[in-house]
Amino acid sequence: MTAPKNEKFEIMGVNHLALVCKDMKRTVAFYSGLLGMPLTKTIDLPNGMGQHFFFDIGNGDSLAFFWFPDAPEAVPGVTHPAHLVGRGSITTAHASLNHLAFNVPADRIDEYRRRLEAAGIEITPVINHDESERQASLELTPSTFVRSIYFLDPDGIQLEFAAWTRPMGAPGDVRHDPATADDAARYLALQRVAEPAE
User: Is 70 exceeded by the pLDDT of residue 121?
Assistant: yes
Residue 144 maps to a domain:
yes
**Do the domain assignments include residue 37?**
no
Which domain does 160 fall in, by range?
99-170
8 A C-beta contact, residue 146 and residue 163: yes
User: CA-to-CA distance for 103 and 57, rounded, in angstroms?
Assistant: 9
Read off the pLDDT of residues 80-119 as tens digits, 9 standing for 90 and up.
999 999 899 999 999 999 999 999 999 999 999 999 999 9
- Does the residue 18 lie in any domain? no
Residue 134: CATH number of its domain: 3.10.180.10
Single out the residue of 133, 122, 35 nearest to residue 83, CA to CA: 122
Of all residues in the chain, what percent carry a pLDDT higher than 70? 96
Mean pLDDT of the chain: 91
What is the DSSP code string of 113-142?
A: HHHHHHTT--BPPPEEE-SSTTSEESS--T
Classify residue 9: in a domain, yes or no.
no
pLDDT digits (tens, 9 = 90+) for 147-180: 999 999 999 999 999 999 988 887 788 877 788 8
Is pLDDT of 29 > 70? yes
Work out how many domains the chain is built from and give that number. Answer: 1
Contact present, 102 and 160 (Cβ < 8 Å): yes
Name every residue whose Cβ is closer than 8 Å to that of residue 66 and which is 6 or more positions away in sequence: 18, 19, 20, 21, 50, 51, 52
Residue 77: inside a domain = no
| Length, in residues, of the chain | 198
pTM: 0.88
- Kindly report the backbone phi and psi dihedral angles of residue 149, in degrees, each rounded to the nearest multiple of 5, phi listed first: -130, 145
The count of other CB atoms within 10 Å of the CB of residue 92 is 19
Which pLDDT value is given to residue 1? 63
